[in-house]
C-alpha cells in the first residue's frame, strides 16, 4: 500500500517508529516488516512491486 503523507507526518513516523526507514534509492532487500518513506513516486511503486506492505510517499 502506498500512502501519501505530508513531510511533517513522514518525519513524525521516522522519529517514533523503529521500523520506519527513509529511502532515497531502491534497497537490495525489501522487508515486509518495514515502513518505507520516500519522496520518489517511482521508488514507491518499485517497493510495492517488490512486496513492501507499507510505503509512505511524501507529497
Structural domain tally of the chain?
A: 1
For 31, 51, the CA distances from 21, given in Å and listed in that order, are: 11, 15
Q: Are 51 and 30 in contact (CB under 8 A)?
A: yes
pTM given for the model = 0.94
Share of the chain above pLDDT 70, in %: 100
Q: Are 17 and 34 in contact (CB under 8 A)?
A: no
Mean pLDDT of 21-36: 96
Structure confidence at residue 33 as a pLDDT band (50, 70, 90): very high
Domain residues for the domain of 46 are: 2-58
Structure confidence at residue 54 as a pLDDT band (50, 70, 90): very high
- Nearest Cα neighbor of 13 from 32, 33, 36 is 36
- Nearest Cα neighbor of 5 from 34, 32, 36 is 36
Amino acid at each position: 500500500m502506498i500512502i501519501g503523507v505530508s513531510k511533517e507526518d513522514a518525519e513524525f513516523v521516522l522519529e517514533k517508529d523503529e521500523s520506519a526507514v527513509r529511502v532515497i534509492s531502491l534497497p537490495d532487500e525489501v522487508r515486509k516488516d518495514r515502513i518505507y518513506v520516500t519522496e520518489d513516486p517511482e521508488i514507491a511503486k518499485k517497493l510495492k512491486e517488490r512486496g513492501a506492505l507499507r510505503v509512505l510517499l511524501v507529497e
